[in-house]
Chains A and B, each alone.
Chain A
Amino acid sequence: MAQKSSLSNRPLEIRWHGRGGQGAITAAKIIAQAAYLKGYKGVTAAPSFGAERRGAPVSASTRISTEPVLVVSQVENPEIVVVLDHTLLKYPDVTHGLGKNGWLIVNSPLSPRELGLKGEFNIATADATKVCQDLELIVAGLVIVNTAILGALVRATKIVDLPTLEKIIRERFSKSTVDINLAAINKTYEITKTGK
């Protein structure tokens, strides 16, 4: 897993990019809760601040630390960037600040190499959209990939483990939606490809 070096109390930072309605903010919160359950005392999860609308690019952030998180400013140099919609990769903001030991997690049918991105960070891809379509994880016509992509995040970074994630999903989701979300996570975990 990527590590911050300079200050011992500096948290690990994840930035999430998606489109309004895809659930990037919920994903940011789920990982914060899972990390807390794993024993990290400091976690925060925040949406990007401002007006958000369905379909428009949105971002969110999660900070994870062994100590309470004191940083409240926006994430500048994330260790991990998670992209729920690969069409957002055309915006330079998405990978901005991601360091060479960092991880870019992308919902994409392409392999890491096929993405053709410049940068020294590690890349993990998985076609979470197809996984969710196959499972019919669709709400109001929108494929909901926010839980599925967590499978790729966990596979690549091991920031939390699948059983912890499952526990949070079971607590957070209604009984009727738990199984389909867990299936999406597990399937995406299996098909995740990693590379540079």
Chain B
Amino acid sequence: MAIQRKSNMLIIDGNQAAAIAAKMSRVQVVAAYPITPQTPLTEQLSQFVEQGELKAEYVAVESEHSAMAVCTSASIVGARAFTATSSHGLAYMHEMLHWAAGARLPIVLACVNRAIGAPWNVLNDQQDSISQRDTGWIQIYCRNNQEIIDTIIQAYRIAEQVHVPVMVCYDGYILSHTEMPVDVPEQADVDRYLPSYKPHTTLDPANPKNYNLVTLANPRIGVDGKLCHGYMELRYLLQEALQNSRETILQAGREFNGIFGRDYERMFWEDRNDDAEITIVAMGSLAMEAIVAADMLREEGIKVGVLGLRVFRPFPKSDVVQALRKSKLIVVFDKNISYGSEGATCSEIKSALYGTYINASIRNFIVGLGGRDIKARELVEATKKAIASLKETVINPDYPEWICQI
């Protein structure tokens, strides 16, 4: 596979980066089922375990539903657990995603973003992870392979601090199968950054407890005489944990910078945005292509910046408002569609801006579904179309435009 270079630079693909990150995070249980384009990641992890490079239990399950069931069980007994999947695998895992988040277990899942059928398609878009938006997981998206390795390591820090599972998402093929230079951290530094997992509650046969028992609507007195939360209080606490996780995410990014020299003290990436009158919003690898588009537009004298969404859940509303305060036009590109509405990230942007003093026009384009190639020049054309549309109306249209042949 990869070749050692000066310092720790390796030329590796996204799946290799994710596998190395899981290994360096010293995960103790890996349960996964292979699915394109995630497969090489699970193969690499099983090889690490087989060769003794990773001291973990690799559970070769028969489905993704079971994969998350195993991760949930492993996490309940105090193990650091990891899984990875894509597309239909994530959809099949849906029920257990709720279970992991509801049980407040710090599992980390790598979602290698892929389209969902029908019709069959193995290529990239973000419909799979966006469809799991409301399961209570933190979602962080990566723009390149460096961010994959760094984000998975940070994800354990975040998950174990706020007791919420973290889904680290990266684009199938575009990142998972594309090699690029990655600075691989030293294991000693990762150990310093990420101490071993200390669960606050552990299921232990020597000390029997009820766990995840049927919880009624209203709070009630438990066997120990203490008032226990009802179902709704537990839901509130999960929401509160996500609402409050921003500080933990920023701190995890800040301390990562302190040790590894790469700054992640941010909820999203901003490029060329300081003097921008128009801001392009994109998530995942498209946010890099968008920087090229912004440069092309700037060559024509159009002041364009890029907001590359990183943390999608919790959605950083006030940070986004701050970043978009000077924008007169916001052009949001989504690799997903909430059918009957619009792209999911566009809805978030609109929601964040509502009721603020920012009165920017917003245009939404659906792009790149099922691996449809989307080039910088097409982002440029769409942005120009959005600018031209302002002459007709500044009011935001009800529905997005699609960059496709219809």
Is the pair A69, B289 in contact by a Cβ cutoff of 8 Å?
A: no
A95 within 8 A of B: no
Interface stretch, picked from B75-83, B175-183, B397-405, is B175-183
Query: Given contacts A33-B11, A51-B122, A172-B3, is CB(A45)–CB(B289) below 8 Å?
Result: no
The residues of B that contact A69 with a CB separation of less than 8 Å are: 180
Using a CB-CB cutoff of 8 Å, which residues 127-169 of chain A contact chain B? 168
State which residues 22-48 of A face B: CB under 8 Å. Answer: 29, 32-33, 36-37, 41-47
Could you tell me which B residues sit within 8 Å of A by CB distance? 3-5, 9, 11, 122-124, 171, 173-175, 177-181, 285-286, 288-289, 291-292, 295-296, 299, 371, 373-376
Nearest CB of B to A97, in Å? 12
Distance, CA A64 to CA B374, complexed state (A): 20
Distance in Å: Cβ of B106 to nearest Cβ of chain A: 31
B373→A74 contact, CB < 8 A: yes
**B11 contacts A43, CB within 8 Å?**
yes
17 new A-B pairs (CB below 8 Å) besides A36-B181, A46-B178? A29-B179, A32-B179, A37-B5, A42-B180, A43-B179, A43-B181, A46-B173, A46-B177, A46-B179, A49-B124, A49-B174, A50-B123, A70-B288, A70-B289, A71-B376, A73-B374, A73-B375
16 pairs of residues in contact across A and B, judged by CB atoms under 8 Å: A7-B292, A9-B292, A9-B295, A32-B179, A36-B9, A36-B181, A43-B181, A44-B178, A44-B179, A45-B180, A46-B179, A47-B177, A49-B371, A72-B175, A72-B289, A172-B3
Question: Residues of B contacting A171 with CB < 8 Å?
Answer: 3-4
How extensive is the interface on chain A, given as a class? 20 to 34
Residue of B nearest to A61 (CB): B178
Is A76 close to B, CB under 8 A? yes
C-alpha spacing A45/B299, complex, angstroms? 28
Q: Across the interface, which residues of B come within 8 angstroms of A33, CB to CB?
A: 3, 11
| CB <8 Å contact, B375 and A76 | yes
User: 8 tightest A-B contacts by CB?
Assistant: A46-B178, A49-B173, A73-B375, A70-B288, A45-B179, A72-B285, A44-B180, A171-B3
Q: Which residues of B contact A32 (CB under 8 A)?
A: 11, 179
Q: Are B286 and A72 in contact (CB under 8 A)?
A: yes
**Assembled-state Cα–Cα distance A71/B299 (Å):** 17
A71: which B residues are within 8 A, CB to CB? 288-289, 292, 376
Q: How far is the CB of A113 from chain B (nearest CB, A)?
A: 35
Q: B177 contacts which of A9, A49, A51 (Cβ < 8 Å)?
A: A49
B63 to chain A, nearest CB (A): 23
> A42 → chain B, closest Cβ, in Å?
8
Write out the residue numbers on chain B whose beta carbons fall within 8 Å of the beta carbon of A29. Answer: 11, 179
Question: For A50, what are the chain B residues with a Cβ–Cβ distance below 8 Å?
Answer: 122-123, 371
Considering the chains assembled together, what is the distance between the CA atoms of A50 and B374 in angstroms? Answer: 16
Distance of A69 Cα from B376 Cα, bound (Å): 13
- Complex CA–CA separation, A87 to B138 (angstroms): 50
Which residue of the partner chain, among A36, A41, A45, A68, contacts B178 with CB atoms under 8 Å? A45
The residue among A43, A44, A47, A49 with the most chain B CB atoms within 10 A of its own CB is: A49
A173 CB → nearest B CB, Å: 11
Q: Is the CB of A73 within 8 A of B177?
A: no
Complex: chain A residue closest to B288, CB-CB:
A70
B-facing residues in A157-196 (Cβ within 8 Å): 168, 171-172
Contacts of B180 in A (CB 8 A): 42-45, 69
Instruction: Find the A residue at minimum CB distance from B124.
Output: A49
Bound Cα distance from A76 to B11, whole angstroms: 23
> Which A residues lie within 8 Å of B286 (CB)?
72
Bound-state CA distance A72–B282 (Å) is 13
The docked-state distance in angstroms from the alpha carbon of A171 to that of B10 is 12
Residues of B within 8 Å of A74, CB to CB, are 373, 375
- With A45-B11, A46-B178, A70-B288 known as contacts, the answer to whether A36 contacts B5 (CB < 8 A) is yes
Q: Bound complex: CA of A85 vs CA of B342, how far in Å? A: 45
In the assembled complex, the CB of B122 is this many whole angstroms from the nearest CB of chain A, namely 7
Give the nearest-CB partner of B145 in chain A.
A44
Bound form: Cα–Cα A172–B3 in Å: 7
Nearest neighbor of B295 in chain A, beta-carbon distance: A7
B9, B11, B289, B299 — which one has the most chain A CB atoms within 10 A of its CB? B11
Bound complex: CA of A74 vs CA of B376, how far in Å? Answer: 11
Contacts A7-B296, A29-B11, A50-B371 given; indicate if A73 touches B181 (C-beta within 8 A). no
Contact A72-B11, Cβ < 8 Å, known A7-B296, A43-B181, A49-B371: no
Measured in the bound complex, the distance between the Cα atoms of B262 and A32 in whole Å is: 24
> CB distance B178 to A72 under 8 Å?
yes
Within 8 A of B (CB), among A54-85: 68-74, 76
| Closest chain B CB from A63 CB (angstroms) | 9
Q: Which residue of A lies closest to B174 (CB)?
A: A72
Q: Which among B178, B295, B371 has the highest number of chain A CB atoms within 10 Å? A: B178
How long is the Cα–Cα vector from A43 to B11 in the complex, in angstroms? Answer: 8
Alpha-carbon separation in the docked complex, A43 to B180 (Å)? 6
B23 to A: closest C-beta gap in Å? 21
In the assembled complex, the CB of A69 is this many whole angstroms from the nearest CB of chain B, namely: 7
**Which B residue sits closest to A44, measured CB to CB?**
B180
Distance in Å from the Cβ of B310 to the closest Cβ of chain A?
16
Query: Who on chain A is nearest to B299 by CB?
Result: A7
- B177 CB contacts on chain A under 8 angstroms: 46-47, 49
- B residues near A37, Cβ cutoff 8 Å: 5
Complex CA gap A41/B9 in Å reads: 11
A42–B291 Cα gap in the complex (Å)?
15
Report B-chain residues with C-beta under 8 Å of the C-beta of A45.
Answer: 11, 178-180
The answer to whether B11 touches A49 (Cβ under 8 A) is no
